[in-house]
Amino acid sequence: MPMPQEYQIASQSYDKYLRDLCEESELVTRNRGYTCTQAVLLAFRKRLTAEQVLLFANVLPVVLRAIFTKEWQREEYTADFGDEADWIADIKGLRARHNFSEDATLRHVSGVLLNHVDEEEFRRTLQEIGPEALRFWGVEALSPIS
């Protein structure tokens, strides 16, 4: 069986994601784009159970999946999903002295990420995780199939 294409083009896909994020967020370096992305992914991850972490990881592109799961520990889970102020505080708190995240970082990352995933699968996964996950990423639930 040949290597899956998502692995063959992982670097190019990630580079395109970072370019898009830096443009959207007016970031001047890829390092800043990486830190903002990592901060958002980790802020979300700590609000998920182990099963939900794996479920969400499967809808991410390969490199973003690796960033999302790297050094994950079950013990980081918090049952309180919080609100947008909590999410932004967590996002800004990652490496605070070297973090260039702003209040809008979550929306920038979310908007760009939606262009780099299968949007229907992404929404379906968030819907399965729960309404808090949909709120975090700022997306609407899929309409029920009639």
Neighbouring C-alpha atoms within 13 Å toward the C-beta of 2? 4
Give the torsion sign (CA, 38, 41, 45, 51): negative
pTM of the entire predicted model: 0.92
Tell me the per-residue pLDDT of 19-69, one tens digit each, with 9 for 90 and over. Answer: 999 999 999 889 999 999 999 999 999 999 999 999 999 999 999 999 999
pLDDT at 144: 61
Q: Which residue has the higher pLDDT, 3 or 10?
A: 10
Q: Greatest CA span in the chain, whole angstroms?
A: 51
Would you place residue 146 in the very low, low, confident or very high pLDDT band (cuts 50, 70, 90)?
Answer: very low
Tell me the per-residue pLDDT of 85-131, one tens digit each, with 9 for 90 and over. Answer: 999 999 998 887 777 788 899 999 999 999 999 999 999 999 999 99
Helix/strand/coil for 95: coil
